[in-house]
Structure 1
Amino acid sequence: MTSAHAEPLPASTAWYVPLARAIPAVALAIAITFSADHSARLGLVTLASFTLVAGTVILTSSLLSPHRGIVRTLSIAQGAVTLATAIAAFVATSGGQAYFVFLLTAFAAITGFIELYLGLRSRGRDASSRDWVFVGSLTALLALIVLLVPPAFSQPYTGPDGVDRELTASIVVVGLLGAYWAILGVYLVIAALSLKWSNKDYVAATAAVQQKED
């Protein structure tokens, strides 16, 4: 995501980290899209699955990162919160709509603002900053939109097949989560490829500078 005339920037995030987060996001977005069940239980199971993979990837890559400082510290915190969400969702998949909304909004608000803060403070210094800003903003926005859905929302409607159905808060929130994962997954695939190319450009530019100095 670096312009053609801009100086390549180092990236504190390996390109495979966003790719590893994208895979479960895309898979779960597809699963929700083709599932007739949009219950809170499905929401908790899919949330647990995503956060388990994403949290493991973020936490492991942060702990193994050679970089030190606030970026590594906050990334470790983000990974820990994400894994804690996975545990909380797995142990209470029958927790109901209120529990699902609480867990989802808490996860999205905390990790979203962490990632947004990392992106804003790293602008112009880290090739990952633009991706952090986008993903952080998208995740924080998810928390806000989910909170705006009335818990008792219920809207009867007639489907295309003429069958009477009911649109509930659970269906809306799970649908929003699926849409979030679809957008997130596509963006992170692009981000991973961009980081891979950016890292190659940075290594090449650094090598050229060293050759000139020698």
Structure 2
Amino acid sequence: MSTSPQTRAFEVWHVQLARAIFAGIAAVMITFSPDHSAEVGLAVFSGFALATGIVMLVAAGLVYPVRRKWPAVLLGIASVAAGMAGGLPPVRSTILFFVLVIAWAFAAGLIETISGWRALRAAERGELALGRASEARDAVVVGVVTLVLAVALLLVPVGFSLDYTVAEAGQTYTLTGIILAVGIFGGYAAIVAVYLAIAGFSPRKPQPLPASAETPATHDGGSA
């Protein structure tokens, strides 16, 4: 059987760029929206989560070999479920935004962090191609940033409200917990978009598998 690298129509960098695009769209929508209400926040999050979930589920079938499908499948299911839950306008509320985004962030963050960390350990032991180390690090970084999102939202009081006056404008405004939370999610989306875009465009040199690593049937073109 030939052990030459197989050519795939879709690679990990395609997945990273697709995720970067959807995260960037979410960041732009929140940044340029004057309304940071729970309804708007959930609408943007729902679209972001659904798009991310679909990308990961498609990637599980087209990009990742059998032994490395589970992170993509789990992340895809968690994201699609969260997106569907936030996509129902009648149930959108401040409480739902906090509960849904925090739950998704913890689940998604743990999936990516654990899968990336396991892949890094395997690469260090020489069980995987060294070229996968950068992809594993990307997964760990995105996973940790997602966990930070969850923690940051936990620290925001749901009922927080602060009135402040802008003297130059002669107007009084109210800063609320949901405004802070939606803004934090927008900042998270911007960070993920930039990081994954850089990762996706970073050049990668294919490297052969060590003799004891995966067989040719499990091509090493994916990430953790």
Instruction: Give the TM-score, by structure 2 length.
Output: 0.80
Structure 2 equivalent of residue 78 of structure 1? 75
The farther-off stretch of 81-90 and 122-131 is 122-131
Distance 1:73 1:120, change over 3 A: same
Structure 2 equivalent of residue 41 of structure 1? 39
Tell me if 1:139 matches 2:146.
yes
Deviation at 1:165, TM superposition (A): 0.4
Structure 2 equivalent of residue 212 of structure 1? none
Give the Cα–Cα distance (whole angstroms) in 2 for the partners of residues 99 and 184 of structure 1. 23
Tell me if 1:154 matches 2:161.
yes
SS at match of 1:52: helix
Deviation at 1:53, TM superposition (A): 1.0
Deviation at 1:142, TM superposition (A): 0.2
Q: Give the one of 120, 145, 166 matched to 2:174.
A: 166
Structure 2 equivalent of residue 64 of structure 1? 62
Give the Cα–Cα distance (whole angstroms) in 2 for the partners of residues 155 and 65 of structure 1. 48
Distance 1:188 1:168, change over 3 A: same
SS at match of 1:36: coil
Q: Give the one of 23, 30, 34 matched to 1:25.
A: 23
Give the Cα–Cα distance (whole angstroms) in 2 for the partners of residues 77 and 41 of structure 1. 27
Structure 1 equivalent of residue 184 of structure 2? 176
Structure 1 segments unaligned to the other structure (5+ residues):
1-11, 207-214
SS at match of 1:119: helix
Give the Cα–Cα distance (whole angstroms) in 2 for the partners of residues 56 and 128 of structure 1. 20
Q: Give the one of 40, 45, 55 matched to 2:53.
A: 55
Instruction: Give the TM-score, by structure 1 length.
Output: 0.83
> How many equivalent residue pairs?
189
Deviation at 1:56, TM superposition (A): 0.5
SS at match of 1:156: strand
* Greater helix share, structure number: 1
Structure 2 equivalent of residue 97 of structure 1? 94
User: Are the aligned partners of 1:44 and 1:93 in contact in 2 as well (CA < 8 Å)?
Assistant: no
Identity of aligned residues (%): 37
Deviation at 1:95, TM superposition (A): 2.1
